[in-house]
Amino acid sequence: MFEHETVLKMESIEGLNIKPDGIYVDCTLGGAGHSEEIVKRLTTGHLYAFDQDDVALKHASERLAPYEDRVTFIKSNFVHLKDELLARGITQVDGVLFDLGVSSPQLDEAERGFSYNYDAPLDMRMDRSRELSAYHVVNEWPFGDLARIFFTYGEEKFSKQIARKIEQARAVKPIETTFELVELIKDAIPAPARRKGGHPAKRTFQAIRIAVNDELNVFDRAVQDAIDMLAINGRICVITFHSLEDRICKQVFKEKSQHPPLPPGLPVIPKEFEPELKLITRKPITAGDDELEGNRRARSAKLRVAEKQK
């Protein structure tokens, strides 16, 4: 069973403001929870759905089989969204959705190595045809790079101590599994700190996953390309799960929704000075109590929506 509890489902569908004849892009198909809501609302419109994970694509295409004439599945990293769409003759779209991160099945499939709760080989690749895995990062990256990613991608206070432990352990023998890594992390964090702020390996695992999948760089590039592809009045909706992703989204939306410096004394803002985007959400939308009760993952979710106006 491929079960992923879709986060902020109706809020993002409302954010996309779907037109039955519009062209939509779901950059993160996953279990197709959002995609299903999009295709249900289309008549002559079409959905282009991206995922880099074969397992997700297989299950999602089964779920969306009743709507197969309205959806095209694309196995690709969303960083290539512009090229993939242009290759299919699509030059403008009416809405783009990003629901970032990993899906619950990815986390729960022990052998994918995403979770510190299951013992598995170190992997964490969303796209298993790629070479770089958690094993390479943990066993081959220099101390300085490890400490840097644990600090910047994991916001881990004990980044250097953890990197040092890893360096010492792998000098003896390679670190093969998630549980071996968890033990090293626990050893590196002083006992009082280990008891605070959730599982001690949470931040380090997040950092390695971001590095393996180059998540922040691809999102930064893709969000700009997605905005470029939007038609006038087209909408972009982004659901993020940690502050680093949200910061990128907020920054790009902010830059593109501010008008350039205006000549002094203008009574109204001329069309050519209008910014590219209008913010639909000034503050991000978060999950309501009902959703939070049923889905722990929703706790950190933030949805931002913007509309192309120029």
Ligand X SMILES: C[S@@+](CC[C@H](N)C(=O)[O-])C[C@H]1O[C@@H](n2cnc3c(N)ncnc32)[C@H](O)[C@@H]1O
Q: List residues forming the annotated binding site for S-adenosyl-L-methionine.
A: 32-34, 51, 78, 99, 106
Contact between residue 205 and residue 186 where contact means Cβ atoms under 8 Å apart:
no
Q: Is 78 in the site for ligand X (CB under 6 A)?
A: yes
The full 3-state SS of 170-205, as one line of letters, equals: HHHCCCCEHHHHHHHHHHHCCHHHHCCCCCCCHHHH
N residues, the chain:
310
Q: Which residues have C-beta within 8 Å of that of residue 141, sequence separation ≥ 6? A: 149
Candidates 13, 18, 32, 207: give the one binding ligand X (CB under 6 A).
32
Q: Is 30 in the site for ligand X (CB under 6 A)?
A: yes
x/- mask, ligand X, residues 42-61, rule CB under 6 A, reads: --------xxxx--x-----
SS3 168: helix
The H or E element containing residue 298 is none
Cβ proximity to ligand X, 185 vs 298, nearer residue: 298
Placement of tokens 């990197």 in the chain: 163
Dihedral sign, CA of 231, 234, 238, 239? negative
**In the complex, minimum distance from the CB of residue 74 to ligand X, in angstroms, rounded to a whole number:** 9
**In the complex, minimum distance from the CB of residue 152 to ligand X, in angstroms, rounded to a whole number:** 19
Strands in 23-26's sheet, in edge-to-edge order, are 71-75, 46-51, 23-26, 93-99, 230-240, 302-308, 277-279
**In the complex, minimum distance from the CB of residue 263 to ligand X, in angstroms, rounded to a whole number:** 41
Cβ proximity to ligand X, 70 vs 165, nearer residue: 70
**In the complex, minimum distance from the CB of residue 60 to ligand X, in angstroms, rounded to a whole number:** 7
Q: Is 34 in the site for ligand X (CB under 6 A)?
A: yes
Q: Which residues have C-beta within 8 Å of that of residue 80, sequence separation ≥ 6? A: none
What amino acid is encoded at 167 in this protein? E
Task: Pick the stretch among 26-34, 230-238, 249-257, 269-277 that binds ligand X (CB under 6 A).
Answer: 26-34
What amino acid is encoded at 266 in this protein? L
x/- mask, ligand X, residues 95-114, rule CB under 6 A, reads: ----x-xxx-----------
**In the complex, minimum distance from the CB of residue 224 to ligand X, in angstroms, rounded to a whole number:** 14
| Contacts to ligand X by CB under 6 A | 4, 6, 28, 30-34, 50-53, 56, 77-79, 99, 101-103, 126, 218
